[in-house]
């Protein structure tokens, strides 16, 4: 019980929200009322409310008051690492190809470039215990500092290819996850002979100006990957 006062305030209000004592849309008591209730100054109350707001419990409207927020029921946190997932890890990668290509219309469009710009194409197969578990294709816009040594490319994640070891808070990434039946080429690379499902993860990377800088498509054998996400 050595918690600072503002934590007390946070937890009291959370509790009230969680037993429906306060419902979405209800007003939270005004700051001055909470000051009196807890016998503290306004800055202390505001610190508590700021935390509740940052955690999505409440929101404030200047001149009016603070209100209980509707919980975001559909939001999850997903941890995705190309080379590691909860049921399996890639322990080796083989570089099939790294070449400079001219993009076709679809690719140029996705990368928002003209068709006369050069794009780096990288194709790899990922292995676990010698078994091919994923086929990986990446299209990258070239920029300075990128790895040019094939051995580096071979074992690098998408993030590592473009950020080159530098910290990068600015890099934005989008994932698109789907299930597909492998085409003949993919079947060949993954030694698939019978019916099989692929978990396909498409990654798109954007720089801090929101311009696409790379697209990656990783097709995992369905029995070798499981993605996990959780609320909170």
- Name which position in 1, 25, 62, 230 contacts DNA (CB under 7 A): 62
Q: Which of 64, 78, 29, 63 is nearest to 49 (CA)?
A: 29
Q: ∠223-79-218 over CA atoms, to 5°?
A: 50
Q: State the virtual CA torsion across 144, 147, 150, 151 in degrees, nearest 10.
A: 170
- Name which position in 1, 19, 20, 63 contacts DNA (CB under 7 A): 63
Q: State the virtual CA torsion across 218, 223, 227, 230 in degrees, nearest 10.
A: 170
57 CB contacts (<8 Å, ≥6 apart)? 13, 14, 17, 68, 69
Partner that binds at residue 143, options its own copies, DNA, none, CB closer than 5 to 8 Å by kind: none
- What distance in Å separates the CA atoms of residue 59 and residue 147, rounded to the nearest whole number? 45
Interaction between residue 31 and DNA (CB under 7 A): yes
Shortest Å, Cβ 23 to DNA: 17
- What distance in Å separates the CA atoms of residue 125 and residue 94, rounded to the nearest whole number? 5
Interaction between residue 20 and its own copies (CB under 8 A): yes
- Name which position in 14, 46, 123, 172 contacts DNA (CB under 7 A): 46
Closer CB to its own copies, 51 or 121, in the complex: 51
Shortest Å, Cβ 39 to DNA: 6
For residue 42, CA distances in Å to 101, 123, 215, 232 come to 62, 59, 49, 29
User: Which residue stretch of 35-43, 92-100, 107-115, 148-156 sits at the interface with DNA (rule: CB under 7 A)?
Assistant: 35-43
- What distance in Å separates the CA atoms of residue 8 and residue 19, rounded to the nearest whole number? 17
Shortest Å, Cβ 84 to its own copies: 9
Instruction: Please count the residues of this chain forming the interface with its own copies, following the rule CB under 8 A.
Output: 56
Interaction between residue 43 and DNA (CB under 7 A): yes
- Name which position in 80, 95, 96, 146 contacts its own copies (CB under 8 A): 80
Q: Identify residues 32-51 at the interface with its own copies (CB under 8 A).
A: 43, 50
Interaction between residue 33 and DNA (CB under 7 A): yes
Interaction between residue 187 and its own copies (CB under 8 A): no
- What distance in Å separates the CA atoms of residue 140 and residue 146, rounded to the nearest whole number? 10
User: Which residue stretch of 25-33, 89-97, 204-212, 218-226 sits at the interface with DNA (rule: CB under 7 A)?
Assistant: 25-33
- What distance in Å separates the CA atoms of residue 207 and residue 172, rounded to the nearest whole number? 6
Closer CB to DNA, 1 or 179, in the complex: 1
The footprint of DNA (CB under 7 A) covers 4-7, 28, 30-33, 39-44, 46-47, 49, 60-66
């Amino acid at each position: 019980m050595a918690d600072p006062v503002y934590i007390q305030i946070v937890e009291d209000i959370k509790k009230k929200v969680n037993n429906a004592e306060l419902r979405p849309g209800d007003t939270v008591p005004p700051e001055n009322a909470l000051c009196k209730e807890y016998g503290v100054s306004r800055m202390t109350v505001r610190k508590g409310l700021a935390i509740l707001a940052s955690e999505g419990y409440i929101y404030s409207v200047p001149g009016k008051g603070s209100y209980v927020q509707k919980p975001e029921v559909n939001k999850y946190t997903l941890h995705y690492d190309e080379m590691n997932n909860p049921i399996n890890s890639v322990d080796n990668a083989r570089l099939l190809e790294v070449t400079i290509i001219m993009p076709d219309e679809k690719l140029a469009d996705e990368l928002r470039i003209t068709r006369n710009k050069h794009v780096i194409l990288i194709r790899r197969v990922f292995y676990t215990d010698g078994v091919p578990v994923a086929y990986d294709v990446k299209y990258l816009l070239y920029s300075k500092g990128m790895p040019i040594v094939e051995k580096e490319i071979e074992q690098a994640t998408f993030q590592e290819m473009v950020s080159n070891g530098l910290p990068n808070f600015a890099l934005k990434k989008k994932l698109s996850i789907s299930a597909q039946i492998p085409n003949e080429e993919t079947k060949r690379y993954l030694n698939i002979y019978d019916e099989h499902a692929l978990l396909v993860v498409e990654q798109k990377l954007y720089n801090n100006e929101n311009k696409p800088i790379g697209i990656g498509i990783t097709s995992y054998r369905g029995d070798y990957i499981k993605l996990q996400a959780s609320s909170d």
